Amino acid sequence: MREAFIQTLLTLAQERRDIFLVTGDMGFSVLEPFRDRIPERFINAGVAEQNMIGVAAGLALTGKQVFVYSIIPFACMRCFEQIRNDLCMPKLNVKIVGIGTGYHYGPAGTTHHAIEDVALMRALPGMKVIDPSTPQEAQEALKAVADEAGPVYIRLGKYQGDSVFNHANKFVIGQANILEEGEDLAVISSGSVVYNVHKALQILRGQGLRGRLIHMPTIKPIDEEMIRQTAKKTEVIFTVEENNIIGALGSAVAEVLAEGRCNVHFRRLGIGDVYEKAIGSQTFLQGKHGLTPETLAKRIQEELASIIL
């Protein structure tokens, strides 16, 4: 997804002279095409994330459209207050691109896992939160984001499947997509883990359970209408995300369901408020948290059984 990001940003920047890219010394083997082609609009702020956001704010205050790039914990946690004060309060045109959703950097250790960023960014007034699933969708999302006023957070993971994104749909910020129809249950998901949900639903389909798969690439503002419609069509809704289940996609969906007085069974599936101590690949760690296709299918079945009981 990183390559898709930089190709698209480079194309956009060649068309628009106001686009700048600021990095906190990240992007080796990714950002070079931009650096080499448009060096005057590429700024490496150093291993200094607070500085990175402050410099981006200063550029935006002079009318530039600024993209900021780093690994998620550094892009949006180390410099959280700069994002809040310097970007969100004045509603500046700065787009934060965070790399490595969930357990993307699995073996690198807990410091590099990104399971709280959606909750953090979602809590900032005026900040939009985008969680694309595939490289193609990341490209489309990036184009949409470049035209969007104000701060946006876009997080990019590692997509390992074939495309489940409906390319007929133009990416519209705030709009969810129905990837698969089904009546027995619905799953709302976002990010690269959507592929695992797709495979899990295939397993369940083999057992006679038809699931509706909603891809919610914009977590904020969330597609409330899609959630309410889904609640009318099924009795059970799951959210699946590779995040701490507190404060992220599941919470956002729960807010809509609760306030809409939707009469459904609802379960948030994700990471259960823990820092993962086990060492291993993204797939290995996903498996520990019921987020691989097989473990997810099993978890959904267990939850359905408990609901029916």
Q: How far is the CB of 149 from other proteins (least distance, A)?
A: 15
Q: Which two tokens stand for residue 159?
A: 């997509």
Query: How far is 172 from 144, CA to CA, in rounded Å?
Result: 7
Query: How far is 71 from 79, CA to CA, in rounded Å?
Result: 12
Q: How far is the CB of 205 from other proteins (least distance, A)?
A: 52
Q: Of the listed pieces 5-13, 42-50, 160-168, 261-269, which binds other proteins according to CB under 8 A?
A: 42-50
Question: 3-class secondary structure for 94-120?
Answer: EEEEEECCECCCHHHCHHHCECCHHHH
282 binds other proteins (CB under 8 A): no
Query: How far is 297 from 295, CA to CA, in rounded Å?
Result: 6
Q: Which residue number, 82 or 243, has a Cβ lying nearer to other proteins? A: 82
Q: Which residue number, 55 or 269, has a Cβ lying nearer to other proteins? A: 55
Sign of CA dihedral 50, 55, 58, 59: negative
Q: How far is the CB of 55 from other proteins (least distance, A)?
A: 4
Query: How far is 233 from 231, CA to CA, in rounded Å?
Result: 5
Q: How far is the CB of 192 from other proteins (least distance, A)?
A: 32
- Distances, alpha carbon 259 to alpha carbons 224, 232, 256, 263, 264, in Å: 10, 14, 5, 11, 13
Q: How far is the CB of 34 from other proteins (least distance, A)?
A: 15
Q: Which residue number, 54 or 100, has a Cβ lying nearer to other proteins? A: 54
Please report, for the chain, how many H helices and E strands are present, in that order: 12, 12
Q: Of the listed pieces 41-49, 101-109, 113-121, 233-241, which binds other proteins according to CB under 8 A?
A: 41-49
Q: Which residue number, 58 or 107, has a Cβ lying nearer to other proteins? A: 58
Q: How many residues does the chain have?
A: 309
Contacts to other proteins from residues 57-96, by CB under 8 A: 57-64, 81-82, 85-86, 89-90
Q: Of the listed pieces 55-63, 144-152, 157-165, 172-180, which binds other proteins according to CB under 8 A?
A: 55-63
Helix (H) or strand (E) run with residue 75 in it: helix 72-76
56 binds other proteins (CB under 8 A): yes
Tell me the site size for other proteins, rule CB under 8 A. Answer: 26
Q: Which residue number, 48 or 178, has a Cβ lying nearer to other proteins? A: 48
51 binds other proteins (CB under 8 A): yes
48 binds other proteins (CB under 8 A): yes
| DSSP 8-state class, residue 298 | H
21 binds other proteins (CB under 8 A): no
Question: In 38-93, where do the E strands start and end?
Answer: 42-44, 65-71
- Interacting residue ranges for other proteins, rule: CB under 8 A: 40-41, 43, 45-46, 48, 50-51, 53-64, 81-82, 85-86, 89-90
